[in-house]
Amino acid sequence: MKFTRRDTLILAAAASALSLCGVATANAAEGDTVDEAKLMAPAGNYVDHVMGSDTAPVTVIEYASPTCPHCAAFSNDVLPGFIAAYVDTGKVKFITRPFVRNVLDAAVFMLAEAAGPTNYHNVVSTYFKTQTTWASSQTPRDAILEIAKQLGFTQETFDAALTNQDLFKGMEAVREQALNEFGLAGTPTFYVNGKTISGEQSVESLGAVIDPLLPADFVPTAAAPAAAAPAATDAMAPAATDAMAPAAGTGAATPVN
């Protein structure tokens, strides 16, 4: 996927869809359980980036969209405390899985993938922190590029990252699987050992679901801390009025050549 001058208009139109994110939809699948084996086999040959111990007794999967303000609120305000309480202690294996609602979402995850395994989460976190800077820009390509440069990208590596068509197709397959097989209705949506939890969550609300799943004899460990995102300039967490952005209504991402 490459950005051209013509694509700037496409990206701006995609960004304008953010105005729809404040309208949440009812999630009929709330509390339902999805088969864990299916959840752990993302479509399209997509490979998850996992935080935490492989032996953690609980797996939490978050489907997230970088242009969703509710996902940004979770990433900015809740995730650091959740990682400290549940991931670094060996209780939870945490996966942030892409839910691509538009081409801007695709660009962020493609850049994160290109940054490599050790920097993946830093890139995603940084774009959440700066969401209001790039997602609402009249020139989103330039805004995304400027943040990418702060993360170590050059113009050349930026352009190269956005040509990964296999990754793009894989993320589209992941989105369709979530909609059609898992009943996802909006972002963020969490699956805790397969149980569906939708909308914005706190450490306490997730803990209320996780704690009963921990073995009675579980002993917390001092796992290596998950990589924290570097400080980003102009980082602003968007104010969210509703708890979840709808999965439908913003349009699917379309690759541009």
- Assigned domain for 130 exists: yes
- Assigned domain for 252 exists: no
Is the separation of the CB atoms in 88 and 225 below 8 Å? Answer: yes
Phi-psi region of 212 (alpha: psi -120 to 50; beta: other; left: phi over 0): alpha
- Assigned domain for 253 exists: no
**DSSP labels, 50-67:** EES-TT-SEEEEEEE-TT
pLDDT band for position 18 (cuts 50, 70, 90): very low
- Assigned domain for 244 exists: no
Between CA 147 and CA 123 the distance in angstroms is: 9
Average pLDDT for residues 186-201, to the nearest whole number? 95
Q: What is the pLDDT of residue 31?
A: 75
Helices (H), ranges, the chain: 5-16, 36-39, 69-73, 79-82, 103-115, 120-129, 131-134, 140-150, 155-161, 165-180, 203-210
Taking the whole predicted model, whether its pTM rises above 0.85 is answered as: no
Q: Dihedral sign, CA of 11, 12, 15, 17?
A: negative
What's the chain's average pLDDT? Answer: 82
Q: What is the pLDDT of residue 22?
A: 33
pLDDT, tens digit, for every residue of 169-191?
Answer: 999 999 999 999 999 999 999 99
Q: What is the pLDDT of residue 71?
A: 97
CA 255 from centroid of its chain's CA atoms: 19
Q: What is the pLDDT of residue 195?
A: 96
- Assigned domain for 224 exists: no
Q: What is the pLDDT of residue 221?
A: 84
pLDDT band for position 64 (cuts 50, 70, 90): very high
Range of the domain at 15: 5-214
> For residue 145, what are the contacts with CB-CB under 8 A and spacing of at least 6?
153, 155, 158
What is the domain-level CATH number for residue 192?
3.40.30.10
Q: What is the pLDDT of residue 145?
A: 97
pLDDT band for position 27 (cuts 50, 70, 90): very low
- Assigned domain for 221 exists: no
For 106, how many CA atoms within 13 A lie in the half-sphere containing its CB? 28
pLDDT band for position 206 (cuts 50, 70, 90): very high
The count of structural domains within the chain is 1
Is the separation of the CB atoms in 189 and 196 below 8 Å? Answer: yes
Q: What is the pLDDT of residue 244?
A: 64
- Assigned domain for 141 exists: yes
- Assigned domain for 243 exists: no
pLDDT, tens digit, for every residue of 76-124?
Answer: 999 999 999 999 999 999 999 999 999 999 999 999 999 999 999 999 9
pLDDT, tens digit, for every residue of 44-62?
Answer: 999 999 999 999 999 999 9
Polymer length in residues for the chain: 257
> For residue 61, what are the contacts with CB-CB under 8 A and spacing of at least 6?
39, 94, 95, 97, 190, 191
Between CA 199 and CA 94 the distance in angstroms is: 17
pLDDT, tens digit, for every residue of 115-164?
Answer: 999 999 999 999 999 999 999 999 999 999 999 999 999 999 999 999 99
